[in-house]
């Protein structure tokens, strides 16, 4: 199996495309659109609710 040589410029272009795609996905996750909660806000709210329910359960008497 032969290794196809690529130039450093091609490798740099691939890294740039990967970086742009990653930034777009991160913006879609972190930014809320049209007044809705972002995915991160929903996740943090669910963690807060779960922790509250867990602490309530642990405080019950045996």
- What is the pLDDT at residue 22? 94
| CA distances in angstroms from 40 to 11, 24, 30, 33, listed in the order given | 33, 15, 6, 13
* CA 11 to chain centroid: 25
Domain ranges for the chain: 9-58
Short-list 22, 2, 19, CA closest to 11: 19
Tens of pLDDT, residues 4-60: 666 666 667 888 999 999 999 888 888 877 788 888 888 999 999 999 999 999 999
């Amino acid at each position: 199996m032969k290794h196809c040589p690529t130039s450093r410029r091609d490798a740099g272009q691939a890294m740039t495309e990967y970086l742009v795609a990653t930034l777009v996905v991160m913006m879609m996750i972190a930014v809320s659109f049209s007044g809705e909660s972002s995915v991160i806000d929903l996740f943090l709210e669910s963690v807060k609710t779960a922790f509250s329910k867990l602490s309530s359960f642990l405080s019950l008497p045996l």
